[in-house]
Structure formats: structure tokens, C-alpha cells
Chains A and B, each alone.
Chain A
Amino acid sequence: MKKEINIKVCMGTGGLAAGGKEVMETFEEVLKREGIQASVEKHCSVHKVGCRGFCARDVLVDVIIDGEKTTYQYIKPDMVERIVQEHIVQGSPVDDWTVKDDYHTFHSKQVKVVLADCGEVDPEDIDSYISRGGYEALKKVFSQMSPEKVINTIEASGLRGRGGAGFPTGFKWDFARKAQAEQKYIICNADEGDPGAFMDRSIIEGNPHSVIEGMIIGAYAIGASRGYVYIRAEYPLAVERLKLALSQARQRGFLGEDILGSGFGFDIKIKLGAGAFVCGEETALIASIEGKRGMPRPKPPFPAQKGLWGKPTVINNVETLANVPYIIRNGAEWFARYGTEKSKGTKVFALTGKVNNTGLIEVPMGISLREIIYDIGGGIEGGRKLKAVQTGGPSGGCIPAEYIDIPVDYESLAKMGSIVGSGGMVVMDETDCMVNIAKYFLEFTQAESCGKCVPCRIGTKRLLEILTRITDGRGRPGDIELLIELSEDVKAGSLCGLGQTAPNPVLSTIKYFREEYEAHIHDKRCPAGVCKNLLTYTILEEFCKGCTMCARVCPAGAIVGERKQPHRIVQEICIKCGACFETCKFKAIKKG
């Protein structure tokens, strides 16, 4: 009997970094040598797929024999031979290397809409997307739906912008639809700048056609004939796959003049971002596409009225657009089944930091942080204690462990002083210092402030200076109040979203972790043991075996002592780098 064998190798950025390409080549080589690839009884093909979310386990490989799927994790090229021999030739999977229960719990609580085809379709093959229902939504739109009906459907689904602010997508389209102009534009914002977030990159790398299809539908709805994808140059693989996808879509007549005989013409260009966080802001992004310094301008007029080159322009985030084909295909009610009353559908999060299972997840809006961290994320690394969850990147805040039962939706997170944001979710444990985290984000926003308006340019700088002196052990009484006052001013006075949200990390950490600020300022102590100037390293004589390892790694030569005798750290020379602390096998070095 002829067998259909499919091998899928994860080749997102995570998969490639773990050696995905080598694994795939080895499979092809071994299969060719064994003569299995297209033999009479076994038809076997190897495919590359995009990110399936669980990058911490890469390289992930699916072996599908007549529809029965076995997933392997942590695969290296030298493991391929055994998989081919035992599984593909003899038919018994290599149980030692297959995924276990925790892999299934990672997936079982998730609901995949946007990511449904990521990791299933070959991102470099348009037919692979079409075979799973791709471009059906576009055909449906052209054959059965007026632009108004498309907008009504999106409005009814309750889809809100997934880039951060959560503005209802249907309304945005409606504004642009009603604006009178000969030329209109639709822009896909793929300038995913939040540190700690990679949803958009993974979607484009895993399923670029879903974004393109969403854009064409959006263009039809508002009446745009030109589109741009503004994408970060830091995402080379995503850019490459998008370029390929665009040319394939053009060949098939999904882009260009008179798409599918509908009389509607539309095409998309790629614009590479040049590395400025503020360009995620709509008006700054428009300035950047026009070739100027990416500085925001006051709104109104909103881009939907006056945008790119002064023409009505809709700017949607990657994930928002990737939702569109699925909503059109399955209906607004289907989408609105998921989520809460005001936050419909699902949201993709980049779950990272100190959880066991890091990766890309898609969950229904309204799920609790607890379910995300403990069920999907598999709990905290090393069995340590959860301290806080940072959401929304530099515009968001830290939610402390005692509130992890709140639902994750736009309103609830805003009430906590944070935001859903684009979907970064960084889990922190007891070894993370909250003052240091606030300082980290202010370093970022201060450097990325475009400098146009005073509250943001100077306010973030002053905030950073105060935070720096606190973490250096030079904090003064009254600094906390000063931080709060200044933060409120920056929020109120800044021109764009960057400045208006930049103080959120400071305010939320003061709100929930004030005692940690006080310990830094009054006791000159960093409870988490992170802030260098407030630390001392000492060797505990009773544990020190005199192995000399610490003395050898010390870059400053600050550790003295005879072999096999307890060593000592000369505090005046110590630069507090922590190298000794990490090297010591006997836990003889104390930090504090």
C-alpha cells in the first residue's frame, strides 16, 4: 500500500537559530539516500513551515504518516538518521524524542485563529495557503459583498486594533470609506518595535498570505488602490518571505489591475523601517514612508482623513489584518464567540521571560494571567516565585503576582495601569528588580523619544536620571513623589502615544512595588539583588573548597586565597560583575 509521508520542519527565526535548515537538509539527504522520497510504496516530502509558537523546544519536527502526526522536539541534524530508520522505514516512532504532555498543555488552552495556519502552511508556497482555504475570503468579498457589507461584518465581529490602542477596526475603515478623495491608501504596520514582542514577525514569517489577503479586503472596503507594508529591517526573514508572497499573489492575479475580474485594482509595496521606535505611531510612520524624519504630528486631522501624501489612509497592525480573512470566511458571529463583551476574538501574545514554556501563544480574550503563566507557560523557571508580569512593553506596566486572576482584555489591563499593547508578555520572578525594570524601559523610551515635544524629550530624560540615581544608591527622600509628579506631567503633556505612555512602567511599579523603591532609597539595598552598586559579594568560608574557579574567572583579579583554602573577595577591587557567583559550584558565594 502506498503511504503518504509528510515531514514538517519549523523554520521561523527561532527554528533557524536552533538549526532548522540543517535538520531539513539532513532529512532530504537521508531520504534520498534511502530512496524513500518518491518510492512506489512511500511518497515522502519534506516541507518548511513557519513558527508554531513553541520556540523554546526548537527544532520541532512533525512526521505525518497517512494523517497520523508525531511531533519531535529539540531535534538536531544527527538525530535525523534514527528518526528515518525507526519511524519512517520501520514504522515505530522514536519515543525518547517525541513531545510529552507538557507540549500538549501548552497548546490545549489556546484558541488559534490568526495562528491556525502558522506552522501548517509552507510560507513560501501560495498553493499551500490556498489548499487550506486561503484567498477564499477574497473571492467571497468580490462575488457577494459590497464594501459597506465588508465594513459591517468587521464591525459586527467586534475586531479591535491589535497593535496596542484597541480602536475598533470597522469604525476606522468606515471613516476612511466616507472620506472623499481620488486616491486612498492602506498601510500595514509591521514596525513591531516593542522590545519583548514578536507576534507580527511570526505571523509574517509563518503565513504572509493571510496578511496580504486581509490588506486587499481592507483596500476594497475603503476604496484604496495602493498599499504599503512598513516593516522593520531587523526582520530579514519576514521581509524575504513577504516579498516572495507578494510576487506569488501578483502572478495569481490577487494583486494588480482588475483583481479576479472584479474591476478593482490594488497593489502593495514594501517599505523598510530604518530603526526608530516612534515610527510605530501612525503619523510618524506616515512621515517615514514619505522619506522624512519619523516625527509624529498632532491629531486631528486623523490619518483616515489626511494621511499619506495628505490622502485618506488606514493603518492597521499585522495581526489585525491577519484576522480579517478568517472573519470574512467564517462570519462575524463565529469570531465574536470568543472573548469578552468588549474585547472580542483572540489575541496573540509573545510569552517570554522566566516561564518554562516561552513562545508565541494565541488565547481567547478574557483568559486569566494565571492560566497563561501556569497552564500554558508551565510555571516559573527553576520553581521560583512569580513576582510580576509585564505587558505592553515600554508603554505598559507591571502587574503584580497577587492580581494574576484578572481577565486579560483591553479594559481590565487598563484598570491595572497597564495595557494589552501589541502583545508582549514578559514574566518576572523574585530575582528581577522592579526599579531596574522601570529604568530599563525609561532608557528605551528616552533614547527613542523623537525630541519634537518638550514633555517627552526632557521629561523622560529627567525620569531616567532619577531612576538611575536610585539604582546607583544615590536616591534621595522625596524621589518617589517627584517621579509620580513628573510622570503625570509627561503623560498629560506629550504629543503622541510614546510620551503619553512612557511613564506607565514607572507609575505601575511604584504603585505595586513601592517598598522596593523605598529599600533602594532609604536602606541602599536592592531586595532582588540586581542593582550592582547596592550589592556586595562575599565568600562563605564554610562552603569554600578552595577550588580557585572563582579566582580564575574574576576579570578584576579581586579574589585572593591559597589553593584548597577558603578564598576572599577584596571589596575595593571587586567590580560586582557576578562572574564568581555564577561559576561557584559549592554555593559558597553570597550576594546581597
Chain B
Amino acid sequence: MEAKLQRILENYQQTEGNIISILQDIEETFGYLPEEAINWFSKRLDIPPAKFFGVATFYAQFHLKPRGKNIITACCGTACHVKGSERLINSLIKELKIPAGEDTSEDREFTVERVNCVGACSIAPVVIINKEVHGKMTPDKLMKEIKKLK
């Protein structure tokens, strides 16, 4: 971990980064923001951890808890909403047994997330499975894709 953090620190110094860019690099490296990582930077840069957490909790992109191996993002933009994105999410939560109030299955295989809009409205409803965009989704098609990952 130390080595990875060191690399992020170097990148920060070279590119005149800021708290957001550090957090983005941590998120990219670890998939979420481990508390130790933030404390490490806090000490190195002499910035209180509260500053980091303040920024981290402000933006939707950052996660304080580890996420699943597979990330499934359902778009909840207006076009997807009127074309039934809510139904897709419900079927995902049921199929992947995501506990109520959580977004990740207990075995950490799957994380189901919502995103405001991915800007692919003309092929709504849209679901992004591990960074791949799938358009004109139906619960049936979605379940077929999920089975491939299991």
C-alpha cells in the first residue's frame, strides 16, 4: 500500500494536484477510499483528515466502503426513468441479494449503483456493467448479462 500511496503523492506533486485529484487517484487505485490512505496523506501534507472527508462525502464519485468485484451502474436519468429504470434496479437487487440499505452483496461480488445520467438517453434505459454500456435494457436481457458474470 505504501508504495502505491507514494506514487500518488509523486503524481500530485508533479501535476499541481489538489485534494480532489488525490482522492480520485486513491479511488482509482483501491476501488474505494481506505481510511489509512487518507490518514497517510493527511500526515504527509499536513492537511487535517476532516478536509479530505469533507470533500470525499461531498462528491458522489467517492466511496468510503469497499465495493464489489463487479460494478453494475443503472442510469436513472429522466429518459431512463420514464422507460423503467426503477424496475431494472429492483430486479438487480433481488437477483443479486443486495441487503436493504446497502449497495454491495455480502460476498462482495456485486455492487449495484445508480448514476444520475450517463448521457446515452437515446438508447434508454441504460445499464453499465463493468464499464461497458448496455442500451435498451430489459429485465430479461439484464439477467442474461448477470448470469455471464456469476
Contacts and interface: CB of A to CB of B under 8 A. Distances in A.
Interface stretch (A28-36, A115-123, A269-277): A269-277
A50 interface: no
25 contacts: A13-B119, A14-B122, A14-B123, A18-B135, A55-B120, A196-B78, A197-B121, A198-B121, A234-B119, A273-B61, A274-B20, A275-B61, A288-B20, A291-B19, A291-B21, A293-B58, A294-B59, A352-B79, A352-B122, A390-B78, A424-B121, A426-B82, A440-B81, A441-B78, A448-B116
Given A196-B77, A577-B90, A352 B58 contact: no
Nearest to B133: A17
A578 interface: yes
The 8 closest A-B pairs by CB, nearest first: A291-B18, A198-B119, A196-B78, A275-B60, A274-B59, A195-B77, A55-B122, A358-B122
B54 interface: yes
A390 B78 CA distance: 9
A27 B38 CA distance: 49
B53 to A, nearest CB: 11
A499 interface: no
B19 A292 contact: yes
A16 B131 CA distance: 12
B122 A291 contact: no
Interface string B30-52: 00000000000000000000000
B120 A274 contact: no
B67 interface: no
A428 interface: yes
A234 B115 contact: yes
A158 to B, nearest CB: 28
A311 to B, nearest CB: 15
B120 A198 contact: yes
A302 to B, nearest CB: 23
Nearest to B57: A293
B113 to A, nearest CB: 11
B52 to A, nearest CB: 11
Interface residues of A, number: 57
B121 A358 contact: yes
A196 B19 CA distance: 30
Interface in B107-137: 115-124, 126, 131-135
B134 to A, nearest CB: 6
B123 A274 contact: no
Contact of A18 (B23, B24, B123): B123
Contact of A196 (B18, B94, B117): B117
Interface in A550-588: 555, 577-578
Contacts of A13: 118-120, 133
A255 to B, nearest CB: 17
Interface string B52-70: 0011001111100000000
A110 to B, nearest CB: 15
Contacts of B76: 195
A426 B60 contact: no
B87 interface: yes
Given A274-B20, A291-B18, A352-B121, A426 B59 contact: no
A444 B122 CA distance: 20
Contact of B82 (A18, A198, A202, A432): A432
Given A195-B116, A196-B77, A440-B78, A276 B58 contact: yes
A198 B90 CA distance: 26
A371 B12 CA distance: 51
A393 B116 CA distance: 12
B78 to A, nearest CB: 3
Contact of B131 (A197, A236, A350, A577): A236
A354 interface: yes
Nearest to A277: B116
A56 B132 CA distance: 18
Given A16-B133, A274-B20, A578-B87, A424 B120 contact: no
A17 B123 contact: yes
Contacts of B24: 233, 272, 274
Nearest to A56: B122
Contact of A353 (B54, B62, B78, B90): B78
A197 to B, nearest CB: 7
Interface centre among B23, B54, B133 (most CB of A within 10 A): B133
Contacts of A273: 61
Given A198-B117, A354-B82, 12 more contacts: A17-B132, A18-B135, A198-B120, A201-B119, A233-B24, A273-B61, A293-B54, A294-B59, A351-B122, A358-B124, A393-B78, A555-B94
Nearest to B59: A274
Given A195-B77, A440-B81, A55 B55 contact: no
B116 A193 contact: yes
Nearest to B138: A582
Contacts of B19: 291-292
Contacts of B90: 577
A542 B91 CA distance: 31
Contact of B123 (A56, A194, A424, A577): A56
B124 A193 contact: no
Contacts of A197: 117, 119, 121
Interface in A292-311: 292-294
A254 interface: no
Contacts of A277: 116
Given A276-B60, A358-B122, A432-B82, A14 B135 contact: yes
Contacts of A466: none
A293 B119 CA distance: 24
A198 B78 CA distance: 12
Contacts of B117: 193-198, 234
A517 to B, nearest CB: 19
Contacts of A14: 120, 122-123, 135
B82 A428 contact: yes
